[in-house]
Structure 1
Amino acid sequence: MNAWRHRPLLEWLGRRIGRLSRQQREGELSAIFISAAAGALMRPCDEALAIVDRGLAEDRYALGRGFWRLTDGCQVTLIYAEDLRRAERRHGLSLSAGQHRRNLVVSGLAGLDLRGVSLRIGEALFEWHRVRPPCGYLDRVAGAGTAKALGRHAGHCLRVREGGRIKLGDRVTLI
């Protein structure tokens, strides 16, 4: 069989696969939440300042006031919008006002493994640190069953490697 005869098809497939790969590596920042102290309500923001090795300005963890700050704190937490919608649908919860207690809600990247990945959001660069599963504390401040509804993989800890402004609608690019 002559490989040259199939070259146009192979080139088209290569372009298509490349386009799909790029699409899967880009999402959008759908929501930003901060809280001034452990247990305080999460406050939605249109933008936030990411501070290197601290977190988001005015957030509990950057201020040293997070519940897990001494043992298990995260600089910034992230959750997929698709996981929130799934939990709302399956368990009849309302999570759109930050009851999930995560800082960043990202759409378009659900199901991707972030281990070993950096994320560019607006001016800031974040580095994946570890999975941040919901815990019993979430049930105490957001309502019984919230942690179970979100599931054990519904959250990621990020470290801020390059500071800067992030805004709603910013592209989230995996590096």
Structure 2
Amino acid sequence: MATLPRPGRVEWIGLRTARGQAMREVEQALAEAGKGLAGDRYQGGSGKRGITLIQAEHLPAIAALAGLESVAPALLRRNVVVSGLPLVALKGRRFRLGETLLETTESCDPCSRMEAALGPGGYNAMRGHGGWCARIVEGGRIRLGDALVPVGDAAV
């Protein structure tokens, strides 16, 4: 279970400055240990939700289940879209994302805002595809194209 076929890759990064505001797409973000992403609304919170991740391969599935042609990452309100690695394999593990060290804390379940973002049934279209929340253990920059690589077997 610890072996993965290849590293993942950062495909998209977004920040939400305040509740209800649209996501702002960025090329890089500064992750602050125990806090969150600089400029994101969750910065300075409990740390359990320092960063949110979703798997790129799930975007077409969410779109299909919502009856849409495609879904833009910003609509789903996650900070980072990663491709090439099954995020569920990171459950209970630490991993490097660019310069940062993260650890998964909990699944990132959809909220009722998905009904407005994706249309009626949007919440249910995202169930099981919402991604993960992670704590920032060591801060640093996360950039488009950075690798996501699991490290060790530290349980959360």
Normalised by the size of structure 2, how large is the TM-score?
A: 0.84
Q: Identify the residue that residue 118 of structure 1 maps to in structure 2.
A: 94
User: Secondary structure of 1:105's match?
Assistant: strand
Aligned letter for 1:84?
A: L
Cα distance in 2 for partners of 1:36, 1:55 equals: 12
8 Å CA contact 2:34–2:135 kept in 1: the answer is yes
Normalised by the size of structure 1, how large is the TM-score?
A: 0.75
Root-mean-square deviation (CA), in Å? 2.2
Q: Identify unmatched segments of 5+ residues in structure 2.
A: 152-156
Instruction: Give the ranges of 4+ consecutive aligned residues of structure 1 lying more than 6 Å apart after TM superposition.
Output: none
8 Å CA contact 2:27–2:143 kept in 1: the answer is yes
Cα distance in 2 for partners of 1:152, 1:23 equals: 22
Cα distance in 1 for partners of 2:56, 2:83 equals: 5
Q: Which has the larger radius of gyration?
A: 1
| Higher helix proportion (structure 1 or 2) | 1
Q: Where do 1:35-114 residues align within 5 Å?
A: 35-62=16-43, 74-93=49-68, 94-110=70-86, 112-114=88-90
Total equivalences in the alignment: 148
Task: Calculate percent identity across the aligned residue pairs.
Answer: 39
Q: CA 1:156–1:142 in 2, change beyond 3 Å: closer, same or farther?
A: same
Q: CA deviation at 1:63?
A: 5.5
Q: CA 1:37–1:144 in 2, change beyond 3 Å: closer, same or farther?
A: farther
User: Secondary structure of 1:53's match?
Assistant: coil
8 Å CA contact 2:62–2:129 kept in 1: the answer is no
Q: Identify the residue that residue 148 of structure 2 maps to in structure 1.
A: 172
Q: Identify the residue that residue 28 of structure 1 maps to in structure 2.
A: 9
